[in-house]
Structure 1
Amino acid sequence: MSHIKLELKPEQVAKIKEICKSFNNDPGELINVLHKTQETFGYLPAEVQEVVAAELNVSVAKVYGVVTFYSFFTMIPKGKHPISICTGTACYVRGAEKVLDEFKRILNVKVGETTPDGKFSLNCLRCVGACGLAPVVLIGEKVYGRVSPDGVKDIIKEYEEQ
């Protein structure tokens, strides 16, 4: 995957610095700073991580480590309709992988990618706590339970017109 260098605008850099400052540029607040920054920008590309690292006086590697460790942080822009498939144990044994494969096939994206039109992004989650409804798919905040590979087409259709 080639990395396109993102050019941050001065006002974006200023906004990141302002967020860092709101947490007193405290390295111990890194996770909170990243949450607030992702809330503002929608995702955390390397260029944003570099500014955060500089402001909190921590290494870029440390920031990257936190961003990649926690599944709620993302380095790619989320689609308008972010799709998350639960791959926790209950969902997995009830066929979540086949459901995931079907989403990948129909949308023609890999996990962690967004469709070229920006409509859908695809991700996996560990457990959403709805094990009785396994396999579970989340689209934005909406929960779909007992999803079968055959049902994937209809779920996508629901959002295509939006």
Structure 2
Amino acid sequence: MSDFSCCERTVLLSFREFLEDLTVNKEANAEVQERLTPELEKFIQHWKKQPGNLIMVLHRVQEHFGYVPRSVAFQVADLLKIPLAQVYGVLTFYHFFKLKKPGKNRISVCMGTACYLKGGNDLIQELENILGVGLNVVTPDGQFSVEAVRCLGCCGLAPVMSVNGTMHGNLKKEDVAGIVAQYQAQA
């Protein structure tokens, strides 16, 4: 691997982990494969011949599952007749795509300039304290995951976080526990 740049080695090692996970977790991946719906397959077949279709297809897959399951990435590559490495390259290049299943309640904390300057990092620290997990980790009960995002487009309400797409703005770290409690009560 010495002929590769640092970035290329990172991608190759990540791709190796991707493939190893598929072989080690065959039962889990078989279960996910069965969940690929006929509607998704029809959507993929419809857009199969369109140039630049991969990102649109992956967005639709993630919209359906909440992330892009690894075995579904295999199916996408197969249906589009493209190399798996191309699918994986897009999935890892764009930060929007998730390869791990998020919690039932997906919390996104804005770390854009306005939110960062007004305390976005304090919100993340408070969430980590309340939930007992770090960024991009699902709580043991599967109910929550927290991610830092670049911008949620609500700069006038900074700092902002969204829970399952519902925006919460003008927050202080003291507000976080109440918001989390609302979603815990729904569990």
TM-score bucket of the superposed structures, by smaller chain: 0.7 to 0.9
Query: After TM superposition, what 4+ stretches of structure 1 lie above 4 angstroms from structure 2?
Result: 1-4
Comparing both chains, which one has the higher relative contact order based on Cα–Cα distances under 8 Å and sequence gaps of 6 or more? 1
1:93 offset after TM fit, Å?
1.1
Counterpart check, 1:119 vs 2:160: no
Residue of structure 2 in register with 1:7 after alignment: 29
Unaligned runs of 5+ in 1: none
Residue of structure 2 in register with 1:63 after alignment: 87
1:27 offset after TM fit, Å?
6.2
Asked if the contact 2:29/2:70 (under 8 Å) is kept, the reply is no
Higher helix residue share: 2
Identity %: 39
1:43 offset after TM fit, Å?
1.7
TM-score, structure 2 as length reference? 0.75
Once residues 56 and 27 of structure 1 are traced to their aligned partners in structure 2, the CA distance between those partners, rounded to angstroms, is 11
Asked if the contact 1:17/1:51 (under 8 Å) is kept, the reply is no
- Post-superposition Cα deviations, 1:59-114, rounded to whole Å, max 9, x if no partner, equal 22221222233333221223222100000011111111121111112112222222
RMSD across aligned C-alpha pairs, in angstroms? Answer: 2.4
**Residue correspondences, number:** 162
Counterpart check, 1:53 vs 2:101: no
Residue of structure 2 in register with 1:131 after alignment: 155
Asked if the contact 1:86/1:96 (under 8 Å) is kept, the reply is yes
Residue of structure 2 in register with 1:87 after alignment: 111
Paired amino acid for 2:166: K
1:158 offset after TM fit, Å?
1.4
Unaligned runs of 5+ in 2: 1-16
Moved more, 70-79 or 127-136: 70-79
TM-score, structure 1 as length reference? 0.85
